Amino acid sequence: MFVWREQIGTVNLAVTDRDGGVSSGAWGSLNLAAHVGDDPDAVAHNRRRLGQAIGLGPDRLVFMSQVHGAGVAVVEGPWDAEPPEVDALVTATPGLALAVLVADCTPVLLADPQAGVLGVAHAGRPGLAAGVVTAAVDAMAALGASRVRAWVGPSICPACYEVPESMRAEVAALVPQAWALSRTGTAALDIAAGVRAQLAGRVEQVEQLPGCSREEPRLFSYRRDRVTGRFAGLLWRSA
């Protein structure tokens, strides 16, 4: 169920894999996304299993409707209606697990353990260019965070992320560190490197978690499979 899990004081962090759920076919088996064509009952069951695994009820798992932008929502409790269309969540409320769903994009987990302020961000190519990660750090500061640590989760590596030359130029003009070459020497992007560069000087520490989603069969990958599920980066604080 997890490719990585860590606890720092009362702050818990995890990245799921695709094992341990009930989804079948292209979404097998721990797909956590409700927007990719999977059976809604299976997704709900998977989310309940995940909540049980981390000791929280499924209503305490907080998802967002990710739109590849730079919007940030402050979370104070479970949503009363549909999740907001944002690409980052921040909270100072214990007992809520913030979730970011990915299948090649970069999940970013942010925490100030002393202040008890947490954040997650969904950094794909558009989100990186729009500055979603720095927007999340700014929103955390508004909640009292001052000593933020960051974990950059598994995502597609630059060797696997071939893009048109014009697209690489467009992104690199905004985030030079994202410029890369693919395995065959063609234009590519390194989104994780771009995220780390944006976080440099803004947070106390940045840790890169290993793994390329396209190369690792335990992870969902849109580039590899097209029709597929989503794994999650998770962050929550014990009461």
* Ordered per-residue pLDDT tens for the chain, 239 residues: 999 999 999 999 999 999 999 999 999 999 999 999 999 999 999 999 999 999 999 899 999 999 999 999 999 999 999 999 999 999 999 999 999 999 999 999 999 999 999 999 999 999 999 999 999 999 999 999 999 999 999 999 999 999 999 999 999 999 999 999 999 999 999 999 999 999 999 999 999 999 999 999 999 999 999 999 999 999 999 87
For residue 96, what are the domain limits?
2-156+207-237
Give dist(CA 239, CA 161) in Å, integer: 40
Give dist(CA 239, CA 234) in Å, integer: 16
Determine, yes or no, domain membership for 215: yes
Q: What is the pTM for the complete model shown?
A: 0.98
Collapse the DSSP code of 139 into the 3-class scheme (helix H, G, I; strand E, B; otherwise coil) and give the result: helix
Q: How many domains does the chain have?
A: 1
Determine, yes or no, domain membership for 174: no
Determine, yes or no, domain membership for 72: yes
Q: Crossing angle, helix 132-142 and helix 191-199, to 10 degrees?
A: 30
Determine, yes or no, domain membership for 193: no
CATH code of the domain covering residue 96:
3.60.140.10
Determine, yes or no, domain membership for 197: no
Determine, yes or no, domain membership for 113: yes
Question: How far is C-alpha 192 from the geometric centre of its chain's CA atoms?
Answer: 11
Phi and psi at 21, nearest 5°, equal: -110, -165
Strand partners, 150: 110, 206
Determine, yes or no, domain membership for 104: yes
